[in-house]
Amino acid sequence: MAHWQGNSSFDVFALPDEHTELRAVLRDLCEKQIAPYAAEVDEDSRYPDEALTALNAAGFSAMHIPDEYGGQGADAVAACIVIEEVARVCASSSMIPIANKLGTQGIVLRGSDEIKQQVFPSLASGEAMAAYALSEREAGSDAAAMRTRARADGDAWVLDGSKCWITNGGRATWYTVMAVTDPDKGANGISSFVVHKDDEGFTVGPTERKMGLHGSPTAELYFEKCRIPGDRIIGEPGTGFKTALTTLDHTRPTIGAQAVGIAQGALDHTIAYVKDRKQFGKTISQFQGVEFMIADMAMKIEAARLMVYSAAARAERGEEKLGFIASASKCFASDVAMEVTTNAVQLFGGAGYTRDFPVERMMRDAKITQIYEGTNQIQRVVMSRALLR
């Protein structure tokens, strides 16, 4: 009988030791320094400052920043593990690494050395945070219909318009902003810029009152003759929309990771509850109906996790045509998160509908993962076009 030689192909499906060790460190940090404040953060709709302090101290708030700028240069799978583990105990807190990656991924991909030097060291040190400004009130799924304008004025750019649904709005120092520089060219007339919170003409509106993610501020941004230096454009004029789409190919798996984390947290709490809760003289975990629900929840989480890691690994390798797998990982994982958290509330019964237990918060937090960074309906459009064109 022939035998395979060399390294086992099964190694492909095993995380490297450093990723396994990263998860262990994060699990301990999250349980001790983030989880105890999660309910309070949600109840009081306040920023998770304890999580920010803990993540900054451990270097986990912006792990993707290259090491030449003071960061760790962590790969995309490691970034997903960080987000997943934080989301497992507090989805609001997981928005810290998510927003930092989303707000700077375009700079990583297309930014000049000058912009990287301005932005990255402050994120790596934890001194600053980032945000991403693409959506507008009338340009959500149809992002190319945006109305925010940018015009060259001497050696500067001047922005006018507004953005909405901006995560980290009011907390971020640096904002990646998409604006139209040539209205006659449609999507090819959109450019990408970096705005600093102190730039003249830039203001932040009131925060939204949301169903979930109460600890992560979401705000509108206003640009009124907002003047920024000419070197704060990302790439060439007219390449901004392409950069935005490429950015989403790299960041949609992070939303998938957040969804997996939320679902895993809900499952963990549910398993503990059904093994303790007694009805009809035995724990409800001994009823086959409950057993089947738990099995399905765990099975779907595992499938979602593998898809997310696969998408992140393929992005890290620089593969082309990431659109399908990036959208599939985000779409599948977020649908799983919504199903798992809904079932978690069901298995907790009346207790699950109260704020005394975390699963109702997790259910509310899970919902947004089906909406932001492209609704799951838009994800299906992206996937089908990748397959049919």
Query: Which of 84, 136, 360, 373 is the catalytic position?
Result: 373
CA distance 123 to 132: 14
DSSP 136: B
**Residue in 89, 83, 106, 92 with CA at minimum distance from that of residue 34:** 89
Contact status, residue 292 vs residue 269, Cβ threshold 8 Å: no
Q: Which residues contact 362 (CB under 8 A, 6 or more apart)?
A: 91, 262, 265, 266, 269, 341, 344
Q: Which residues contact 198 (CB under 8 A, 6 or more apart)?
A: none
Encoded amino acid at 56, one letter: N
Known catalytic residue at 373: yes
- Distance set, CA 361 to CA 42, 49, 88, 276 (Å): 8, 19, 12, 21
Q: Across the strands, what pairs with 194?
A: 176
- Distance set, CA 60 to CA 55, 80, 242 (Å): 5, 11, 28
Catalytic residues: 373
